[in-house]
Structure 1
Amino acid sequence: MQTIETTIPAQASPSLAGDGRRLSTVFWNRATGVVAAVLFAAGVWYGIPQLDPAARCALIIFGITLGAWVLTRLEETFVAVAALLALGLTGVIEPTAMFDSLGHSLIGLMLASFIIAAAASATGLSQWLAMTVARRARSVAQLCYWLTAANLVTALFIPATSARAALMAPVFLALNQHFNQPRIGKVLALVFPTAILLSAAASLTGAGAHLLTADLVAQLGGERLDFLRWLTLGLPFALVSSFGSTWVILHLFLTEPERRQALTLESGWANSHETAAPEASKSKQYYVLGVIVTLIGLWASTGLHGLDNSLVAVLGALAVTWPGLGPISLKKGLKAVEWGLLLFLAAALELGESLVRTG
């Protein structure tokens, strides 16, 4: 009995000591963050007296929000909504205007784009595109370049990098299983996320941050960037950075014989790795593809027909959910929307607009 009494504390003490150190670290990190926020607020409030109180409050809230996004593990949407609440409580914006940005046209554009992406996912359109271009490759290097091109195309109609990554994951797994070579698998594991991230720059809807940037530029009196203008500016960068990164990855991690390794992916291989939903038919896949091509054409020709990008996106969302024609219902499409991201974008839009309004 005596042995048990002396042994248990000896075994438990390292664990208790480790928990104590972790709690102490968390406490001091949080205390440091609070002190830094207070010092920043004081510095802005007393250091820039020429700004009116509303402008100083907006700047303080923006700075603390930015610090919380970058330096803490707090969820981005939580921080953005807290900042929106702070704007309302300090009188920078009217309480009734707190959620006006939810009706912003950019939010409607993103909402419709998520529904269109859900329809593309239901038909396996992205996977079909990747499998189709993969069959054209005759070497490992060509395969990586073709996959980079496929990811670049998906950036035009899928609105979030996380959604594109989820759609491309089955393609990566199928290719990795087909090769069963660790070195080539490592290259594919680098090419996919790198291409997904860098190719997003090609499209206005490639990432939510692009919509925020376009809106802020317009708010500051700059050029209003529509889909075609963004494509003109972003596509060259996306092409160079995506294919340049693929070239670097290939030359860093594979030898020349490995890069030139013969590759033949038969059509049967692609069909055996289909990931589309069972109810999805080829006709619905072609229908969704036609809708997407039409959308891109309408977005690119806004100057000719005058239709707003958000209106065009909503028309596309209704087209891909049309009963009997679309692969999914509108209810199912709404379930696929990343509402947290939309709420984050709405709060960030209001935060940016408050900075502009208050000067």
Structure 2
Amino acid sequence: MPSKVERNKQKQNRLKTKIQSMPRKTAIIISIHILILIAVIFIQDLDYSAKVSLFAFLSAMTLWVTTKFSAGWVAMALIAFIILMNAAEPDLLYNSLSEKVVWLMIGAFIIGEAVKKSGLAERLTLFILSKSNKKENVVLGLSSVLFASAFFIPSTSGRAALSMPIIKQISEKFSSKEQSILAIIAPVIILMSTSATLIGAGSHLIGIGFLESTAGESISYIQWLIWGVPFALVVTLLSLIVIKWTLWPRGSVEKLESIETIPVTKPFGKDEKKTMVLILFLIIGWMTESLHGLDIELITVIGAILFMMPNFGIISWKQGMNAVSWNLVMFVAAATALGKVLVDTGIVEWIESEMISVLHLFVVAPDWLIVLMILTITVTSHLYITSHTTRAIVFIPGLILFSELIGVNPSTVVFLSLIGMNYCVTVPVSSKALLLFYEEGDISYDARNLVKLSAILMPLYIFIIMLFYFTFWQWTGMHL
């Protein structure tokens, strides 16, 4: 019979053999989790609940990017982990389905299906396709339509919802690999064009509201257009170039198949007219949110109900429900809850205080260094604050205080910060527009491609903002 020492040695050998036989990727993922755990444990300013929640969030980010596990399963499993570790109440899971973004997405899928069934999506698609027989020009035409939508649809998620049926129609002319890139191009163009106008995102209005109430200054709609449109055009075009360079399949066929243009010129059908009227009411509802007080999410759901109305709507209730990607809805619910728990446990407040304390060191710093620090904080904020609106609420008051402390123009600081916060391309959970196209089913993209794209696009985005600040924006009256 082997001795205790020999038995221990045998166990160590078996463990060593298992570790050596473990796939390299698995070993790396486990190592990353161990490093995250050690780092989180040694953060003294966070309590137990915050540490567990931060570990779960970072774990989710790691698994989404490095594995092929279902994103919804990962998010749901880590929500359950937080609850089982007594870091949150079970309501965290149950209430996740009551998040606004969940109902926005349900409504968006239904509206998208109605637009498709009415024939309107096909008409617009054929119109875009008929203008060129080259895929590159078709993508440029699609991007132009998405860019223009920023001026009359004040919601990135609303623009993404209306673009989905068009993207699905256009993607039929592209290969499967090209379709996955189209699923990235659409939300990225939507996000990059957000900076063009004051109504491009709710965070803009929140930031201006803080500026008016705290510093007594403001940025007018026209002034924002002067500063925002040229920047949005440049950064949108550069994004297209970077996507084409880094992600577009090499050696793909450039020309499209023959396109029939007859449906474009035929008279509008009854369902198409009805759909256009309903979409017009939706857009008006989205644009006048500040007047009637109804959330964009509620307006979207009401629109979906009208599209499914018996004897009047475009699709039936059953068709509407079948059109919803419930897999994606569950993922968004759990992922949003993961982001929300960072706020509830004080993690976001801790990150904000740490960053603002760093900014105080730059009281006598040159302009370029102040701008770079503001942009570094705001552009990277999407990695740990998943809600665009929350980013504005968390950072803008502190940045206005910072501007007054070092004696710089608060309007400039707010504008630069809001433009910086508009960047949210690294992970799907950082933007509703990205989420709508993630794991959607018909066309979807790989989260790893987003990380690959962002590795180039994020520093480029910061560089373009700095370039604009020290040239065009200063020439048109912006200064610190």
Q: Which amino acid aligns with 1:268?
A: I
Q: What pairs with 1:208-223 in structure 2 (closer than 5 Å)?
A: none
Q: Which amino acid aligns with 1:88?
A: I
Report SS of the residue matched to 1:73: coil
Deviations 1:70-116 (A, max 9, x none): 22222211111111111111122111332202111221111111100
Task: Kindly indicate whether residue 38 of structure 2 is the aligned counterpart of residue 36 of structure 1.
Answer: no
Q: Distance in 1 between matches of 2:243 and 2:50?
A: 47
With the length of structure 2 as denominator, give the TM-score of the two structures: 0.50
Please report how far the alpha carbon of residue 196 of structure 1 lies from its aligned counterpart in structure 2 after TM superposition.
2.1
Report SS of the residue matched to 2:161: coil
Please report how far the alpha carbon of residue 36 of structure 1 lies from its aligned counterpart in structure 2 after TM superposition.
3.1
Aligned partner of 1:268 among 243, 256, 262: 262
Q: Distance in 1 between matches of 2:84 and 2:40?
A: 18
Percent of aligned pairs sharing the same letter: 26
Report SS of the residue matched to 2:294: coil
Pair 1:357–1:145, CA change in 2 (3 A):
closer
Report SS of the residue matched to 2:69: coil
Deviations 1:25-57 (A, max 9, x none): 763432342243134213321x12332111111
Deviations 1:157-196 (A, max 9, x none): 44398765423223x36xx9xxxxxxxxx9x989956742
Task: Kindly indicate whether residue 278 of structure 2 is the aligned counterpart of residue 291 of structure 1.
Answer: yes
Judge conservation of contact 1:148–1:191 (CA < 8 Å) in 2: no
Q: Distance in 1 between matches of 2:302 and 2:89?
A: 33
Aligned partner of 1:120 among 115, 120, 125: 115
Judge conservation of contact 2:96–2:337 (CA < 8 Å) in 1: yes
Pair 1:83–1:235, CA change in 2 (3 A):
farther
In the comparison of the two structures, how many residue pairs are matched? 290
Report SS of the residue matched to 2:309: coil
Deviations 1:108-158 (A, max 9, x none): 111111100011111232221122344466999876643433455787544
Pair 1:54–1:157, CA change in 2 (3 A):
same
Judge conservation of contact 1:148–1:192 (CA < 8 Å) in 2: no
Judge conservation of contact 2:40–2:51 (CA < 8 Å) in 1: yes
Report SS of the residue matched to 1:74: coil
What is aligned with 1:131?
126
What is aligned with 2:186?
196
Task: Kindly indicate whether residue 332 of structure 2 is the aligned counterpart of residue 336 of structure 1.
Answer: no
Which runs of 5 or more residues in structure 1 are unaligned? 1-22, 177-185, 205-209, 254-258, 275-280
Aligned partner of 1:49 among 44, 47, 63: 44
Q: Which amino acid aligns with 1:168?
A: I
Task: Kindly indicate whether residue 316 of structure 2 is the aligned counterpart of residue 325 of structure 1.
Answer: no
Judge conservation of contact 2:36–2:55 (CA < 8 Å) in 1: yes
Q: What pairs with 1:79-228 in structure 2 (closer than 5 Å)?
A: 79-135=74-130, 145-152=140-147, 156-159=158-161, 165-170=167-172, 172=173, 195-201=185-191
Q: Which amino acid aligns with 2:326?
A: W
Pair 1:269–1:323, CA change in 2 (3 A):
closer
What is aligned with 2:298?
311
Report SS of the residue matched to 1:36: helix
By relative contact order (CA 8 Å, sep 6+), the higher-ranking structure is 1
Q: Distance in 1 between matches of 2:344 and 2:211?
A: 15
Q: Distance in 2 between matches of 1:265 and 1:98?
A: 48
Q: Which amino acid aligns with 1:169?
A: S
Task: Kindly indicate whether residue 289 of structure 2 is the aligned counterpart of residue 302 of structure 1.
Answer: yes
Which runs of 5 or more residues in structure 2 are unaligned? 1-18, 150-155, 195-199, 213-220, 249-253, 347-480
Q: Distance in 1 between matches of 2:262 and 2:99?
A: 46
Q: Distance in 2 between matches of 1:89 and 1:29?
A: 27
